[in-house]
Amino acid sequence: MARDDIMNILEMRFHKEMVDIYKKAKAECDYNATYFLQMVTKYGGVETARRLLATQVPSEGFTRLWEYGRLDLTMEALVLKPEYTTLFSEGETRIARERLEQYK
């Protein structure tokens, strides 16, 4: 299988998991992250993660999930899953890790 095919499959899986964390946050925390879902729908999971990681401060959703004690449902936690780190730069994974460490 070509590298591009593998990357496309990884990107599709990541996208699905981004939608899944939205659904879990809604079901388990009663948190309806509509803006997050709109971004994922418009830009795709990987591009949404990149855009959110490019901001200086964590998103409102990150903060809300921290308040619920559910950082496991953040995009940052998803970015750091070993199967997805190849989709992101070292800088992006560093930002995700630093945010999670700062709030734990």
Instruction: Write out pLDDT tens, residues 12-41.
Output: 999 999 999 999 999 999 999 999 999 999
Domain region containing 58: 3-103
Domains held by the chain: number: 1
Three-state secondary-structure class, residue 35:
helix
| Cα-based angle 89, 91, 93 (whole degrees, multiple of 5) | 70
Instruction: Say whether pLDDT at 58 is over 70.
Output: yes
| Residue 74: other Cβ atoms inside 10 A | 25
Global pTM?
Answer: 0.91
Cβ–Cβ < 8 Å for 15, 44: yes
Instruction: Write out pLDDT tens, residues 73-94.
Output: 999 999 999 999 999 999 999 9
Cβ–Cβ < 8 Å for 30, 21: no
Distance CA 85, CA 79 (A): 6
Distance CA 99, CA 78 (A): 13
